Amino acid sequence: MATLFTEGFVKSMVMIGANEVGDKTFFIAAVMAMTQPRSAVFGGALAALALMTALSAMFGYMVGELSGSFGAGFTDLVAALLFFWFGARMLWDAHNASGELEELKEVEEELAAGAGKGKGKG
C-alpha cells in the first residue's frame, strides 16, 4: 500500500513540477525577482503553488465523489464540456487580443528602466 502511495505521490509531484516550469507564473516570478526581494517572491510563489495544489486536490476529490453519485459518463460529459468551453474561450481571447502587444512594450520599457536599480537582492 505504501508503495502505491509513494509511486502516485512521486508521479504527481513530477507532473506538477514539469507543468509549472513553463507556466506564466514561473516567468512572472522570475521578472518580479529582478525588482523585488527574491526571498519574498520565492515565498509568495511557493505559497501560491501550495494553495493551488491543495485546491486542485480538493476539487479532484469532489469530482471523484460526484462521479460515484452521478456515474462516470456524466463526469466525462461535464469534463468534455469544460474543456470545450475553456478552449473556445482561449481562442476567442487570442483572436481579440490586440492591446496586449502595447502593454507588453510598456512592461518591457519599465523593466529596462528599472533593471539598473539592483533591488533584486534578498
Residues 48 and 76 in one domain: no
Q: Is 65 among the domain residues? A: no
Q: Is 35 among the domain residues? A: yes
Confidence class for position 89, pLDDT limits 50, 70, 90: very high
Summarize pLDDT for 104-122 with one digit per residue, the tens.
777 788 788 776 555 555 5
Q: Say which amino acid occupies 34.
A: M
Q: Is 101 among the domain residues? A: yes
Q: pLDDT at position 65, please?
A: 85
Residues 48 and 8 in one domain: yes
Q: Is 58 among the domain residues? A: no
Q: Please report where in the chains the cell 502595447 appears, as a residue.
A: 102
Give the residue-averaged pLDDT of 65-93.
89
For residues 53 and 120, what is the distance between their CA atoms, to the nearest angstrom?
A: 27
Distances 16 to 24, 49, 114 between C-alpha atoms, Å: 14, 9, 32
Residues 75 and 44 in one domain: no
Residues 41 and 78 in one domain: no
- Host H or E run for residue 99: none
Q: Is 41 among the domain residues? A: yes
What cell does 24 get? Answer: 506564466
Structural domains counted in the chain: 2
Q: Is 7 among the domain residues? A: yes
**Could you tell me the residue range of the domain that residue 48 belongs to?**
1-52
Confidence class for position 85, pLDDT limits 50, 70, 90: very high
Residues 45 and 14 in one domain: yes
Summarize pLDDT for 39-54 with one digit per residue, the tens.
999 999 889 888 988 9
Q: Is 118 exposed, middle or buried (0-12, 13-18, 19+ CB in 10 A)?
A: exposed
Q: Is 20 among the domain residues? A: yes
Give the residue-averaged pLDDT of 59-70.
84
The model's pTM is: 0.53
Q: Is 62 among the domain residues? A: no
